[in-house]
Chain A
Amino acid sequence: MDSNRVERQRIETAPDNRGDVLIVGGGISGIQASLDLANSGFRVFLVDKSPALGGKMAQLDKTFPSNDCSMCIESPKFIECARNPNIEIITYTEVDRVDGEVGDFKVTLTKKPRYIIEEKCTGCNICVDYCPVKIPDPFNQELSVNKSVHIYFSQAVPLVTYVDEKTCLYLQEGKCQICVGVCKTNAVDLHQKPEQFELEVGAILLAPGFDTFDPKLRNDFGYGVMENVVTSLDFERILCSTGPYEGEVRRPSDLAHPKKIAWIQCVGSRQVIEGGNSYCSAVCCTYTQKQVILAKDHDNGLDATIFHNDIRAYGKDFERFYQRAEKLDDVRFIRSYVTVGREIPESKNVTIRYATLDDGVKEEEFDLVVLSVGLSPPKDFKKLAATFGVELNEHGFCKSNPRNPIATNREGIFVSGAFQGPMDIPEAVVTASGADALVGELLNSRRGKLSRERVYPEERDTTKEEPKIGVVVCHCGANIGRVVDIPGVVEYASTLPNVTWAGENLFACSTENAQQIADAIKEKGLNRLVLAACTPRTHEPLFRDTCREAGINQYFFEMANIREHCSWVHSREKESATQKSKDIIRMSVARAAHLEPLQEFDLPVNKTAVVVGGGLAGMTSALNMAEQGFEVYLIEKDSDLGGMARRIYSTLEGMDVQVHLSDLVRKVYRNPLIHVACDSRILEVSGYVGNFVTKIETEGRRREISHGIAILATGAEEHRPDEYLYGENERVLTQLELEGEIVAGSERVQAAQSVVMIQCVGCRNEDRNYCSRVCCGQSIKNALKLKELNPGIDIHILFRDMRSYGFKEDYYREAAEQDIKFIRFEPQDKPVVTASGQGLKVVVSDPVLGHKLELEADLIALAAAAVAPESSRELARLFKASLNPDGFFQEAHVKLRPVDFAADGVFLCGAAQYPKHISETISQAYGAAGRAIGILSGDSVTASGAVCDVNEHDCVSCGACITACTYDAIRFVDTPHGKKARVEPVLCKGDGLCNAKCPTGAIYLKHYTDDEIFAQIDGAVLLKDEVH
């Protein structure tokens, strides 16, 4: 478990420096790519220049729009990487040179001196305690102090210290060396030198991420000058419980709780002035809304003001998230450019000057100002480009091919994450999984040749032992520790029946603490482990693994949630929270005594894939999997492949969609491993991951396909508008119809002298409370095309917010420069379209001019919403997948499992998940293929042990369980004692419905048996006087 130890083991077994893939950048994208590639049978080197994995995501407090704790969902992945025998983590290291070519790269790297011998350091922090030099903590954005020698952050992997060269007294002046003396393991080596070494790999993935825009550069918002002006990344740390103020929202000047906070949007973004970035950074609108919601959570009384331009809530569930922030009390969203005025000398408050249409220019005072800084390319982008020989775009991000955004200009070198351009976490994850798909295509012939298996110690037979329960109570930094009296809880836990040992941890999930837990299990001969910490949803797999490491069955692990269920919700009632923690732990201990060892088992995988939907997404996934040697059935309901892409001719960036599409269709038809079934529908799906059987009907003929995985890529449809005279007046078109006419060169398009475009038709309203994401780009594209045909044409785009996020912003600007006029309208005052002679008339309120405008139009183009097809519902039912309230497929986790369904072995991609642009669809299609290959490339899948079983002696053959089971997991079998119910464990999903129906208690859900639950209930309702 200890990553150092794992590395040592590796060095013994694999003295070579050969691997399949080098991943540069250990942020969430690099981490996900490592895990996917390692699971697909490749050996990975994961290199990061910082002292630990995590990247920017590790610094975030929560993630939008679900407000999951960022570290809590990312840190289990650090440990997954450290535990994976096919991932070698190399931190504090940079790449110097890349020689060779695809399939045979020779990479020269330099490991910077850490002045700590990683193999010897235990992360005990003693050197940190003794170090006399205080420095601003880089992980906390220099808002708090740390020591010259320190661990990068508490959950760091590897969990070892490093010495800051610039401030260490010994390294600077030859004095001190206290750390050398206090280290018990002789891990400090202040004479370390940079170490150069070479790796051989077949492919390289660049995932270096981004840097935040530095507002000091232009110095126009007072950052670095006024103490109470912070960046949004600073504010993430301020919000965070492991941050500089331990989760209390304070301001830097006097550590007071700010009562009035302003956020300034687009700092460093959407600016063409010197030192700014012209593009939109794509994530700032939503992260600001998140920060507003969280700040209000901390202190409901504070005032929040957001000075913004367009609100770009273009992602899945972003619109609702925006509404949630906007509806909070004392939150003002003000559409205005601003300047930072002055710092008030006495209070250190900061003034902001802004202008509104109603009130003109105003100056207002704020306690704290947060600059919503944009995303810039990584600082060393020029060096990156030179070292790896990849081209950059004009903004300094990696130049990517719109037909394959994960590829670079150099064969064998790929790019994922924000180095492609500004993006949010799910996109960084999708492109990482997509990189797995592309590397797999490239290196298919060497898959599995360098990979190795993880070996666990043999499981101890505990059947004859009495329960010996260990209880560990986790502080979760300050998350639990500052509310719950942990020493008191530990003492109480040690008095509970069957508990032989109880202890506490600062972060049980840190590498070091988890190792200590494993050691305690071994040393004290424990056979049950209760961890009082956070939620099993994120952390159970990790600690089950800890149990396996310690040689006991993983189902002997039980989690007591004293964070979500206790400290977070009772932060102001410390005594009651402590009592409740004791109650929760008592319940878990009672249950743990009844836990039984369960076996998981491996099932063979059918290496065939089914892809539903023959559009761009489905074809891209199908072709990728076939290129990796897997048989694919591509099922399409129409008579041709191509889907919605057949109606799109070019992208905003200028990619010729039809050329790409026909090329793709040809490749799909020519690939002998792809079986295309057009005009087909799915009748029935049965089975489970690794072993599905799908019945389809093609033009009246029926057949059955056996397959191991499925990808659902059924796309979206264009909404048919019921307003603005659409369907009544033939001069009113949708944008897709207009695009068709532009390409066909229709007479009326050529003759048109004035066109009015209306945005947000059929969405961002009560019926469809989401943004269709693609329409702003689509309208700008058509407007520019029309201008190209007829430079004199008059075009008005009537919009609510222009959502040309990322690099699309440049096209929005180009459109404005070409005199395309943009007029904003409010949803309660929509434009009115009337027929007028041969043409049309549009009346719209102009908020800038303050009166109604009358526009003549030869044609009107409506940006009609993208809607989920009705057929998604049926498909979701067949594959036991879920839909969101808008009818789009619901991924398993919005941030970290963006192309998985909760149902194992079923994946999603394309507009069926949410409307998206073509390049995004292609990335996601590769992502889904990458995830699917993770299963297909293995020989088996593992089924859970927590499933139902039948005690045949008690079974009275009533069949109550069989009728209760929707998974068809139970059937009758003939036994010498008559007909008895029997469970097919792979099909059982452990819902336990059958248990409540069985009159004799013959069927039981393992891991949640009646006895286990009774014990828990008894523990819960222990009479008050028995508690202490």
Chain B
Amino acid sequence: MCTGRVDLEFVLRALSKGADGVFIGGCWLGECHYVTEGNYDALFNMHLGRKLLEQAGIDPQRLRLEWIAASEGTRYAEIMNDFGKQLKKLGPLGQSEGLDAKTLKRNLAALTKLLPYTKLVERERLRVRFATEQQYQDYFASEEFNRLFKELLVDKLAISQIMLLLREAPLSARDIAESLGIAANEVSRHLNSSSRLGLVRFDEAEKRFALA
């Protein structure tokens, strides 16, 4: 098995089950033990995963990827100690983010639901292959990527979050906006498009939105 096999779903699963951080350890770039160089894919996934976590209000530093060769026991120990220290500083998942347990769970569920779509989008629009780690960093910090990310994933995540929220109870647009920390006009836009698709309905009596 290669680091490239590490599905973001594994990361989300660990976080939803109570892990405060996830560490991925892989072979150094250029030292692939297969010929697939899947560690580049792992690097891409890690960056994308961090973006998605951030979008869901979770500190992206909770996901860490490092290259460690089999012979680098000392490096491994140092990194694990460092990551442990870092996580202790952040505290339990949700604490440094200011998310209550329920919201945290919902946000992680929303991300998980989005993953199959993310994979399609990744393949069609986002995939890149660079030679160095710096290039990956630059790409994920670039305006070009952020534009694509917003266009392709941000709205979908918000809708996914709204759906999960409404599954709990019917809510007004304002409640939703407050709950999710999304601007009210954005919420209205998502609710309109979701109504058109027949995913939500407006309950006139309650003055609230509910799942269709």
Contact = CB atoms under 8 A, between A and B. Distances in A.
Interface of A: 66, 569, 877, 880, 882, 902, 958, 960, 963-967, 989-993, 995-1001, 1005, 1008, 1010, 1013-1014, 1017-1018, 1020-1023
Nearest to A1014: B13
B60 interface: no
Contacts of A996: 4-8, 41, 45
A1021 B4 contact: no
A991 B4 contact: yes
Given A966-B34, A996-B6, A1021-B18, 13 more contacts: A569-B77, A882-B33, A958-B123, A964-B41, A989-B34, A989-B36, A991-B1, A992-B1, A993-B4, A993-B36, A996-B4, A1008-B5, A1017-B14
Contacts of B5: 991-993, 995-996, 1005, 1008
* Best-surrounded residue of A877, A964, A1001, A1017 (most CB of chain B within 10 A): A1017
B117 A999 contact: yes
Nearest to B42: A996
Nearest to B116: A999
Given A1013-B10, A1020-B14, A1021-B18, A997 B119 contact: yes
Interface string B113-130: 000110110010000000
Contacts of A963: 123
Contacts of A997: 41, 119, 123
A966 B123 contact: no
SS class of chain B's interface: helix, strand, loop or mixed? helix
B205 interface: no
B181 interface: no
Contact of B7 (A877, A989, A1010): A1010
A963 B119 CA distance: 13
A1017 B36 contact: no
A902 B33 contact: yes
Contacts of A1018: 13, 17
Main secondary structure of the interface of A (DSSP, over half): loop
Contacts of B35: 877, 880, 966-967
B129 to A, nearest CB: 11
Contacts of B77: 569
A1017 B10 contact: yes
A877 B35 CA distance: 8
A999 B13 contact: no
B9 interface: yes
Contact of A991 (B14, B17, B38, B73): B38
Given A992-B2, A996-B7, A569 B36 contact: no
B4 A1023 contact: no
Interface string B1-43: 1101111111001100111000000000000011111100100
Nearest to A568: B73
B71 interface: yes
Nearest to A946: B1
Nearest to B71: A66
B120 A991 contact: no
A656 B184 CA distance: 90
B2 A1000 contact: no
Contacts of A1000: 116
A999 B120 contact: yes
Interface of B: 1-2, 4-10, 13-14, 17-19, 33-38, 41, 45, 71, 73, 77, 116-117, 119-120, 123
In the A-B complex, list the 9 residue pairs whose CB atoms are closest, starting with the nearest. Answer: A992-B5, A991-B2, A999-B119, A993-B4, A966-B36, A1021-B19, A1021-B17, A999-B116, A993-B38
Nearest to B35: A880
Nearest to B8: A996
B34 A995 contact: no
Contacts of A967: 35-36
A1023 to B, nearest CB: 5
Nearest to A991: B2
Contacts of A995: 5, 7
Contacts of B119: 960, 997-999
B74 to A, nearest CB: 10
Contacts of B19: 1020-1021
B103 to A, nearest CB: 19
B9 A992 contact: no
A991 B35 CA distance: 10
10 contacts: A882-B33, A964-B4, A993-B38, A996-B5, A997-B41, A998-B119, A1001-B116, A1008-B1, A1017-B10, A1023-B18
B201 to A, nearest CB: 29
A592 to B, nearest CB: 17
A966 B33 CA distance: 13
Contacts of A1023: 18
A1017 B17 contact: yes
A563 to B, nearest CB: 13
Nearest to A989: B34
A1017 B13 contact: yes
Contacts of A1020: 14, 19
Nearest to B5: A992
A880 B32 CA distance: 10
A1021 B38 CA distance: 26
Nearest to B123: A960
A995 B3 CA distance: 11
B48 to A, nearest CB: 11
Contacts of B38: 991, 993
Nearest to A877: B35
Nearest to A965: B36
Nearest to B115: A999
B83 to A, nearest CB: 15
Contacts of B45: 996
A993 B35 CA distance: 11
A284 to B, nearest CB: 23
Contacts of B117: 999
B62 to A, nearest CB: 13
Given A1021-B14, A1021-B17, A993 B2 contact: yes
Nearest to A1026: B18
B156 to A, nearest CB: 14
Contacts of B71: 66
Contacts of A965: 36
Contacts of A964: 4, 36, 41
A58 B1 CA distance: 32
A579 to B, nearest CB: 15
A1020 B11 CA distance: 12
A1003 to B, nearest CB: 11
Contacts of A1001: 116
B4 A992 contact: yes
Contacts of A882: 33
B14 A569 contact: no
B111 to A, nearest CB: 15
Given A999-B120, A1017-B17, A1021-B19, A991 B7 contact: no
A1005 B13 contact: no
A831 B112 CA distance: 67
Contacts of B13: 1014, 1017-1018
A66 B69 CA distance: 13
Contacts of A1022: 17-18
B80 to A, nearest CB: 10
Contact of A990 (B1, B10, B14, B37): B1
Contacts of B10: 1013-1014, 1017
Contacts of B116: 999-1001
A159 B5 CA distance: 42
Contacts of B37: 966
A23 to B, nearest CB: 33
Contacts of B9: 1010
A964 B5 CA distance: 11
Nearest to B7: A996
A1005 B4 CA distance: 13
Contacts of B4: 964, 991-993, 996
A958 B77 CA distance: 41
A1005 B1 contact: yes
A967 B2 CA distance: 14
